[in-house]
Chains A and B, each alone.
Chain A
Amino acid sequence: MTASAPPPVLEARDLHTYYGGAHILADLSFVLNDGEVVVLLGRNGAGKTTTMKSVMGLVRMRAGTVHLEGADITGEEPHVIARAGMGYVPEDRRIFGDLTVMENLEVGRQPPRPGAPAWTPERLFGMFPNLAEMRSRPAGRMSGGEQQMLTVARTLMGNPKVLLLDEPSEGLAPVIVDQMAATIQALKAEGLSILLSEQNLHFATAVSDRAYIVEKGRIRYEGTMDALAADAEVRNTYLTV
């Protein structure tokens, strides 16, 4: 965070988002540096999902700016933002139920991007072996956890540089959560920058470099994961662990 550092890969400044008249995000800012994994922590309804949706263009912000690799993407439509290299994995999965696993992956496919890892279905099956067994099963007929893996795989097919992962460990078996943690680390190693939203502090601690604590739509704390782990007071105040 020194002046000479390269520009952050994702930077959100002073976001304000409303659902109708309800002020959900107020003055929310964060940065994600190249190759970093950053987590948004916070209670139910704190505004983590809304932050991601605002960044992705799925919800209109009333004020604020978002820059992706220095380019202003504020107010762009979701497909433009996605093509600029942002991948979004929603918390409620939203797989295409009638389409097979392979077809779901095909929908996510985008041309390879310089500076970002390139994915193929085969590579992804290596990462999520469960999916490999059900290539031609309609996604609506998979269990909740299987669908969760498919959503991540589908987004990776777009070869993003930045990944927004909304509660990726939710609803996964412990072994798969381990796998997901390993996956996130592998993705990081491949050069992806990742913004997570989590309630599972163990998981967040295992994979992230830095954390922001969101409460009532505002950032209440910012620091490295180590600092947060050492600061019992902050955790007790905001995270109700």
Chain B
Amino acid sequence: MTALLEVSGLSKAFGGVRAVQDVSFAIEPGELLALIGPNGAGKTTCFNMLMGQIRPDRGAIRLKGRDIAGLPPHRIWRLGVGRTFQITATFSSMTVRENVQMALISHKNASRRLWRPAAGTETAQAEALLERVGMAEQGDRACSVLAYGDLKRVELAIALANDPDLLLMDEPTAGMAPRERIELMSLADEIVAERRIGVLFTEHDMDVVFAHAHRIMVLNRGQLIAEGAPSAVRANEQVREIYLGSSVEAGAASGEGAS
């Protein structure tokens, strides 16, 4: 059986900056894999290569056995990859529901229809997706006026519209309140379990990472330095030093300590 996604020897340099060097890993269906690492480690760059926003210098990316390295994003999406962005990207002149409808329309290959009004197309399904991410009440608001955390949820709804096999989430819970983070990630858990999709996500909130990831990879200066079960990664000396710091226990402790 081939893995859902298999990456080998992925590399990218910007001028002199070697953002990603020789990264290899695989994701199985139904797996939540976290990619963590210091700021500037190359996580977003990895995502951009997986989804085609950036063309890798070297390396292979196999999705369900098919090499997708260097394909443009819209082709990769049609092969079953959805994505949310670290810096949210939505259609600001449309309402929340229309944003989701757009993705559904594209999924149905209906984006070139010239005549039937878009307003009535795919509304029920859009509604259902918004319901899932808890944005149903705000469906009629313009995306441009949403608070940041809400935008993140809209992004997730959009990313789920094409029933992806692989979901890439770049800091999905950034800008959210703690409980909302948990809710969103539980939702991701559900979807993974239900549809057996694979999820690769980055996150700087360690509560989220350790509570939800099945497996964790650590990237530093473009290179994978550790990989394994959450408990193993948490115990790794090097990871603690360059990334976790004292936060895992101390961060929580300081919250309690003050009380």
Contact = CB atoms under 8 A, between A and B. Distances in A.
Interface of A: 19, 22, 43-45, 91-92, 130, 137, 141-146, 148-149, 167, 170-178, 199-203, 205-206, 225-226, 229-230, 239-241
B238 interface: no
A239 B175 contact: no
B39 A144 contact: yes
Given A45-B147, A171-B39, A229-B258, 12 more contacts: A43-B149, A44-B148, A137-B17, A143-B39, A144-B44, A145-B38, A146-B40, A174-B244, A176-B39, A177-B204, A199-B175, A206-B251
B145 A19 contact: yes
A199 B244 contact: no
Contact of A144 (B87, B243, B254): B87
A241 B250 CA distance: 18
Interface residues of B, number: 40
B245 A141 contact: no
A14 B201 CA distance: 42
Contacts of B180: 43-44, 240
A177 to B, nearest CB: 6
A225 B247 CA distance: 20
B247 A178 contact: yes
Given A130-B39, A225-B258, A167 B243 contact: no
Interface of B: 14, 17, 37-41, 44, 86-87, 145-150, 171, 174-180, 204, 206, 242-248, 250-252, 254-255, 258-259
Contacts of A239: 177-178
26 contacts: A19-B145, A43-B177, A44-B148, A44-B180, A45-B146, A91-B175, A137-B17, A146-B40, A167-B175, A171-B174, A174-B243, A174-B244, A177-B204, A177-B251, A178-B247, A199-B149, A200-B178, A201-B178, A206-B251, A206-B255, A206-B258, A226-B258, A226-B259, A240-B177, A241-B177, A241-B179
A174 B247 contact: yes
A175 B178 contact: no
Contacts of A241: 177-179
Contact of B259 (A137, A146, A229): A229
- State the 8 A-B residue pairs at the shortest beta-carbon distance, nearest first: A145-B39, A45-B147, A44-B149, A175-B245, A174-B247, A143-B40, A240-B179, A229-B259
B174 A170 contact: yes
Contact of B176 (A44, A142, A148): A44
A47 B231 CA distance: 38
Contact of B40 (A45, A130, A200): A130
A177 B204 CA distance: 9
Contact of A171 (B14, B41, B147, B204): B204
Nearest to A143: B40
B175 A174 contact: no
